[in-house]
Amino acid sequence: MNVLFRSLTECLKKEMVHYQILIELAQIQKDLLVAGKVEPLTENTRLEEKEVFALGPLVAERKELLAKMAIDFHVKDLGLDEAVQRCPVDEVEDFKKAVIELVQSAKRLEEISRGNDKLLNNALTFANFTLRVINDGGKKKNYVPKATLKEENRPQFVNRVI
């Protein structure tokens, strides 16, 4: 059982590396959006996609290890929270730390991504507003951003993976 927990801890640490890179890239994306630098967004998005695709096999490995542990513990499903509760004493410190860091990173990434989503939405609505004003012969109109801080939470990539 200790081998499975060590393997899962290592898997989580590998995932963390990719989440940290995604956080950095999301912050860069935010800075680019705020500065209005559209051209570098393409390369940044390509780098983000690379990290997301690298996470796929690690998530699959994590799920496989949790499935093996579930069989050993004679339970149908085993999540990270329950795995922490069942972790052997000599592995629990490293494992719990890896789980906490992964969850915190995923939440941070989600927070930045939601902000970036709002920035992109506002940029698109402003572009549409500008086109409508031009189309209407320049008649004076008020611009009201569609994305606000009160916007409902929508599922993000992080919610579907973690």
- What CA–CA distance (Å, rounded) separates 44 from 32? 9
Q: Pick 120 or 70 by higher pLDDT.
A: 70
- What CA–CA distance (Å, rounded) separates 15 from 119? 27
Identify whether the C-beta of residue 65 lies closer than 8 Å to the C-beta of residue 7.
yes
Residues 81-109: pLDDT tens digits? 999 999 999 999 999 999 999 999 999 99
The CATH number of residue 80's host domain is 1.20.58.300
- What CA–CA distance (Å, rounded) separates 17 from 105? 10
Whether this model's pTM surpasses 0.75? yes
- Give the position of tokens 């997301």: 52
**How many structural domains compose the chain?**
1
Non-local CB neighbours of 33 within 8 Å, separated by 6+ positions: 41, 116, 119, 120, 123
- Give the position of tokens 């008649």: 139
